[in-house]
């Protein structure tokens, strides 16, 4: 599988799944644009490491995915966007009647609305290039629900719905739009939930992993960022040219239950 000459923009990619996806796309030959809201030397160093390791062009562009103009500016600054991976995401866990309004707004903006803005900015570039791939990192929570995750579940279901619309609007073009729905992947986003959950249920962190986090994942194993990255590479391949408007679960059987 060669993505040589393609440019991939991956939102929220200085950590976790986004970084894993960027690395696998670079391994397949794509030039990559990393992104987050910070602008530290380490962010730029990550891009340089990818450039050296995979012999591709790699850049880091700061843009806050909670802001419409910055989402669109990210794509403009990238200059090309053959592959758009909408990955930036945050989580907050709370009963709906206590859910902080500002957390709701931030999750909807970063996890869902950002994909609307980046896709709107990227599609004209894909059309001009005559090829494009939109890969949205949704979640098993884009297909099922859990208590206390109202904003996250709403945003991820929204992303799955938007993926279908983008696929229909580009159906007659050499552009596809799909959503990857990971189950639990051990990244900072998940690791942050472990201590709080341990306190809440009076469990050790190991018990939380086994009995709470992986409770719904029949494989009883975390998916890896490399597996999510490999799935993104597959969706960019010729074999996936007629796969559009759908979801691919990488969830150890969660959504089969
Ligand atoms: P993570 O916390 O490691 O990564 C999130 C990324 O988003 C980071 O790079 C962070 O800097 C970035 N980000 C956060 N706010 C941003 C903002 N305002 N602007 C730009 N970037 C921002 O978490 P992760 O687990 O790698 O999550 C990545 C995506 O995968 C998210 O959309 C998440 O919902 C989804 N996901 C994760 C899991 C899991 O188990 N880890 C499961 C299903 C889906």
Q: pLDDT tens digits for 21-74?
A: 999 999 999 999 999 999 999 999 999 999 999 999 999 999 999 999 999 999
According to DSSP, the residues that pair with 62 across neighbouring strands are 36
pTM: 0.97
Q: Which residues are catalytic?
A: 152
Q: How many angstroms is it from 87 CA to the middle of ligand 1?
A: 6
Q: How many angstroms is it from 57 CA to the middle of ligand 1?
A: 23
Buried b (16+ CB within 10 A) or exposed e, 225-240: bebbbbbbbbbbeeeb
Q: Is the CB of 142 under 6 A from ligand 1?
A: no
Q: Is 66 left (phi over 0), alpha (psi -120 to 50) or beta?
A: alpha
Query: CB neighbours of 14 closer than 8 A, spacing ≥ 6?
Result: 34, 35, 36, 38, 42, 43, 46, 60
Q: Is the CB of 249 under 6 A from ligand 1?
A: no
Domain spans of the chain, in order of start: 7-185+223-256, 186-221
State the pLDDT at residue 133: 98
Helix, strand, or coil (residue 82): coil
Which atom of ligand 1 has the smallest separation from the CA of 106? 18
Closest Cα to atom 39, ligand 1: which residue?
185
Q: Is the CB of 182 under 6 A from ligand 1?
A: yes
CATH 3.40.50.970 fits 7-185+223-256, yes or no: no
pLDDT single digits (tens) 91-148:
999 999 999 999 999 999 999 999 999 999 999 999 999 999 999 999 999 999 999 9
Which atom of ligand 1 has the smallest separation from the CA of 109? 18
């Amino acid at each position: 599988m060669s993505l040589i000459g393609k440019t991939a923009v991956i939102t929220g990619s200085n950590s976790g799944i986004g970084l894993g996806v960027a690395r696998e796309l670079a391994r397949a030959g794509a030039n990559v644009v990393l992104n987050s809201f910070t602008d530290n030397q380490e962010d730029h160093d990550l891009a340089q490491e990818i450039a050296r390791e995979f012999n591709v062009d790699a850049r880091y562009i700061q843009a806050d995915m909670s802001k419409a103009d910055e989402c669109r500016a990210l794509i403009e600054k990238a200059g090309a966007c053959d592959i758009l991976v909408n990955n930036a995401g945050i989580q907050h866990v709370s009963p709906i009647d206590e859910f902080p309004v500002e957390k709701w707004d931030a999750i909807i903006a970063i996890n869902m609305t950002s994909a609307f803005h980046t896709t709107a900015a990227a599609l004209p570039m894909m059309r001009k290039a005559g090829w494009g791939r939109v890969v949205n990192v949704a979640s098993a929570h884009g297909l099922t629900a859990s208590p206390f995750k109202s904003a996250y579940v709403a945003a991820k279901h929204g992303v799955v719905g938007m993926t279908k619309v983008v696929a229909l609007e580009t159906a007659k073009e050499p552009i596809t739009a799909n959503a990857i729905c990971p189950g639990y992947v051990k990244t900072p986003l998940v690791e942050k939930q472990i201590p709080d959950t341990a306190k809440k249920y009076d469990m050790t962190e190991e018990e939380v992993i086994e009995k709470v986090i992986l409770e719904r994942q029949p494989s009883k194993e975390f998916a890896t960022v490399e597996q999510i990255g490999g799935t993104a590479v597959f969706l960019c391949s010729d074999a996936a040219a007629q796969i559009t408007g759908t979801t691919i679960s990488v969830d150890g059987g969660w959504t089969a239950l």
